Amino acid sequence: MNKTLLLLFSLISAPGVHAQWKAQPLTKEQRAVMKDSATEPPFKNEYWDNKRPGIYVDRLTGEALFCSLDKYDSGTGWPSFTKTINDKIVETKLDLSLLGERTEVRSKTSDSHLGHVFDDGPKDKGGKRFCINSAALKFIPLEDMQKMGYGKYLSLFDGQTSH
């Protein structure tokens, strides 16, 4: 079985994958970011300045990755978060491909490139900056979370406001 078919089969049969994500076509940029570990342009991507409450999910699998409550303006031009919703759904790898040593963030379920994590985030929030490509994400607005199958994450917003 070739690698593309194997990847497609593993995505379709993976536990926790929402049905609506299985057949979503990718743009050229999304494929370059998620499969070839490319980086989209700063300040010219879909979510860098999104301030709406909701969650950000893996564009390939629909797995919940980040919450808008943990998003902040890092001044870099990419969506930046202080933490993931669940550390068990992402993995980090050493990246020596550009500008020295960095830590890559990947989705465990889809094995796709999400971005990088740095230790220059807000100290009062743990000091991490997850610098993530919009092309790897899909935003689910708070008001749509229940109907799109993300009701279990609504408790993240109890008594909270988005940044």
Q: Which residues are catalytic?
A: 131
CA atoms within 13 A on the CB side of 119: 3
Q: How many residues does the chain have?
A: 163
Q: How many CB atoms neighbour CB 36 within 10 A? A: 8
Token pair recorded at residue 147: 């109907």
